[in-house]
Amino acid sequence: MVYASGVQFPPVHRAGQTFLPSQANNLYIFPAVGMAIYATHAKRVTDEMFIEAVHAIADQVSAEQLKLGMLFPPQSNILEVEIQTAARVAKLVFDAGLARVDRPADLVAFIRGHVYASQYG
């Protein structure tokens, strides 16, 4: 069974197994795509950018996590998931000739350099 909800639910225990219901909303896609667009100064936003983000997120779910019923990487690692996803989208932006900045040698480091970290007094 594949299940995802718009809100987070606690683990489900059934027939001696534990399943971790996934939360399916925009918290994975939009921040990563936005970060890639911002960092690359993309000329326009394409459907392919969102499709690449979906693939990048899916690639970050391990086989063990899939066995637990997880469809998305753990939210406890959301910043790293966003950075890796944004780097994949940025690669697509550069490959498509849509970037308005020079292509860096290391896309992950490039994206990491654009991460906003709030610091208060």
Q: Could you tell me if residue 121 is inside a domain?
A: no
pLDDT, the chain, mean: 90
> 119 in a domain, yes or no?
no
Which residue range forms the structural domain that includes residue 41?
A: 4-112
Does any domain span residue 29? yes
96 domain-assigned? yes
**Interval 46-66: pLDDT, tens:** 999 999 999 999 999 999 998
Q: Is the pLDDT of residue 72 over 70?
A: yes
Any domain includes 56 = yes
Instruction: Quote the pTM value.
Output: 0.82
Question: pLDDT band at residue 3, thresholds of 50, 70 and 90?
Answer: low
Q: Is 97 left (phi over 0), alpha (psi -120 to 50) or beta?
A: left
pLDDT value of residue 9: 77
Residue with the bigger pLDDT between 5 and 106: it is 106
- Cα distance between residue 8 and residue 6, in whole Å: 7
* Helix (H), strand (E) counts: the chain: 5, 4
Tell me if 117 is assigned to some domain. Answer: no
- Number of domains into which the chain is organized: 1
The CATH number that applies at residue 18 is 3.40.50.720
What is the per-residue pLDDT across 79-100, written as a single tens digit (0 to 9) for each?
999 999 999 999 999 999 999 9
User: Is residue 92 a part of any domain in this protein?
Assistant: yes
Q: Which residue has the higher pLDDT, 117 or 51?
A: 51
